[in-house]
Homo-oligomer: A and B are copies of this chain.
Amino acid sequence: MKNKSITSRDEDFAQWYTDVVSAAHLASYTSVKGCIAIEPNGYAIWEKMQAILDKKFKELGHVNVQMPLLIPENLLKKESELVEGFAPEVAWVTEGGSKKLEERHCIRPTSETMFCDYYKDHVASYRDLPKLYNQWCNVLRWEKETRPFLRSREFLWQEGHTIHATEEEAKKETDQMMEVYKWFHHEILAIPSITGLKTEKEKFAGAEYTLTNEALMYNGVALQAGTSHYFGQKFSKAYDVKFLNKDNQQEYVYQTSWGTTTRMIGGLIMVHSDDYGLVLPPRIAPVQVIIIPIGTSDEVTNLVANYEYMLKEAGITVNVDYSEKSPGFKFAEAEVNGIPVRIEIGERDLKENKVTFVRRDTREKIVENKDLDVAKYVGDLLETIQKDMYNRAVERRDKLTFTAHNLDEMANILNTQPGFIHADWCGDQDCEVKIKEIKGCKSRCITDEPLIDGKCVCCGKEAKHHVIWGIQY
């Protein structure tokens, strides 16, 4: 039965999204404009994202640190592009301890500044390099229009910051971390994101170049979900971060940063969920299986306990709903919360040795013999769901991927059904600006795929890049 509190996805996508966020208890609006409260169900997803990414970062040699939340204005101003990029959207602390401060401090919109401030006193020679740091924290950007998870004034993220003795090594790091995000999207979130290079116009303020990971939502709107920046020596020159290289010469360090945020929770919803609520890929679901006992006979209770034990032993996250609500209510709750597999164990079914397994993704009910090897069966089922969800997302992405040879074709696509639009581009920012006039369409990334017809989609002149375009959140 359709959840009455959820608007139909096809009817009103934006409303459907906020309905799912609310019905699945992922986040809630607060009295602070543009800031959300992340509720237990939402935060549990973030904790699982953190655990998986943190493990991967550490395997690659990164260590966690924590830099200050506040940045003094004079320090922020040292790198001019960064200031220009972020100054319009920062929040300023001007009073502290009942006094007006001599200098304003902004709340970090990102922490390149504070990392450079740290590096400059902690690096002397090439022997101190590389420094491979990461930080899990909150950041603040004074956005005008906000939407839970996708665009919030305050959000949670990780920001990796590394410095290296050579350009080559730093570029390798930039590539490597983009591969990590790609792996995370494809293998864990079941989101077939695409990766490539940002154009000069769209790159991070102060970066030499930015690699990006772009996901396509169910409605054809793109979501930037993970970027990796190569700074070269831009920041190290601005903040004077030098080291003695192997030739005994002073040299500025080569720097990177890379980050991804709680907006990935929004991405998960917009790629996979449906009119019945949240749908989570098993590998990122905080609870993978819920067992719902129907009745309280010994047979039911014993089998529930047995299944719970077997699944836990197999490393599967399982909850049992022992609450006093009705079975129907429990089914609906498990469904709206996106638990990948639901097991219904009832007295009547058990008389025929039967147990019911329900897939959340397809809502398919599968009746099985109660004596099956439950750990193996559910383990396989979870993997099947993960794979099927990924394949369906690929299918949807491909269905919403188009090619345009000129502006008319592009406008036609954007006005009919937006998606990823492949089109050649001359490299001129004027053409980018002109394209943006069509529904705010921006270059998502430059791919290394071959040119389509060699002509710029906008001006028709000789093309330099094969670019993927789209409307973004």
Interface positions of A (Cβ within 8 A of B): 28, 30-32, 35-40, 43-44, 46-47, 63-72, 75, 87-98, 104-105, 107, 114, 117-118, 121-122, 133, 137-138, 140, 142-144, 154, 156
- Chain B residues lying within 8 Å of A88, measured Cβ to Cβ, are 97-98
Could you list some 11 contacts between A and B, CB below 8 A?
Answer: A31-B75, A32-B70, A37-B66, A37-B114, A43-B63, A43-B65, A43-B66, A68-B154, A89-B97, A91-B95, A91-B105
Taking each of A38, A93, A117, which has the highest tally of chain B beta carbons within 10 Å of its own beta carbon? A93
- Chain B residues lying within 8 Å of A44, measured Cβ to Cβ, are 63-64
Assembled-state Cα–Cα distance A453/B47 (Å): 53
Taking each of A32, A63, A138, which has the highest tally of chain B beta carbons within 10 Å of its own beta carbon? A32
Query: A107 contacts B93, CB within 8 Å?
Result: yes
Assembled-state Cα–Cα distance A91/B104 (Å): 11
Question: Which of B32, B65, B71, B121 is A68 in contact with, Cβ under 8 Å?
Answer: B32
Query: B75 contacts A118, CB within 8 Å?
Result: no
Query: B94 contacts A95, CB within 8 Å?
Result: yes
Check A68/B28 contact, CB under 8 A, given A92-B93, A93-B91, A96-B142.
Answer: no
Question: Which of B65, B70, B140 is A39 in contact with, Cβ under 8 Å?
Answer: B65
- Chain B residues lying within 8 Å of A104, measured Cβ to Cβ, are 95
Q: Which partner residue on chain B sits nearest A120 by CB separation?
A: B31
Check A98/B87 contact, CB under 8 A, given A69-B154, A71-B32.
Answer: yes
Question: Which of B30, B89, B122, B140 is A28 in contact with, Cβ under 8 Å?
Answer: B122
Query: A40 contacts B63, CB within 8 Å?
Result: yes
How many copies of this chain does the complex contain? 2
Q: Which partner residue on chain B sits nearest A66 by CB separation?
A: B38
> In the complex, what's the smallest C-beta–C-beta distance from A118 to chain B, in angstroms?
5
**Inter-chain pairs besides A31-B117, A66-B156, A88-B97, 18 sampled, C-beta below 8 Å:** A28-B122, A30-B114, A32-B68, A32-B114, A35-B70, A37-B67, A37-B68, A37-B114, A44-B63, A47-B64, A69-B154, A70-B91, A70-B154, A87-B98, A88-B98, A89-B97, A93-B107, A94-B94
> In the complex, what's the smallest C-beta–C-beta distance from A382 to chain B, in angstroms?
22
Query: A32 contacts B105, CB within 8 Å?
Result: yes
Query: A97 contacts B144, CB within 8 Å?
Result: yes
Check A67/B105 contact, CB under 8 A, given A94-B94, A97-B142, A142-B96.
Answer: no
Query: A31 contacts B72, CB within 8 Å?
Result: yes
Q: Which partner residue on chain B sits nearest A132 by CB separation?
A: B40
Assembled-state Cα–Cα distance A64/B75 (Å): 34
> In the complex, what's the smallest C-beta–C-beta distance from A234 to chain B, in angstroms?
19
Query: B98 contacts A91, CB within 8 Å?
Result: no
Q: Which 5 pairs of residues, A with B, have the shortest CB-CB distance?
A: A97-B142, A35-B68, A40-B63, A92-B95, A38-B66
> In the complex, what's the smallest C-beta–C-beta distance from A363 to chain B, in angstroms?
27
Query: A32 contacts B72, CB within 8 Å?
Result: yes
> In the complex, what's the smallest C-beta–C-beta distance from A15 to chain B, in angstroms?
19
Assembled-state Cα–Cα distance A186/B66 (Å): 27
Query: B94 contacts A30, CB within 8 Å?
Result: no
- Chain B residues lying within 8 Å of A71, measured Cβ to Cβ, are 32
Assembled-state Cα–Cα distance A122/B36 (Å): 14
Assembled-state Cα–Cα distance A36/B154 (Å): 22
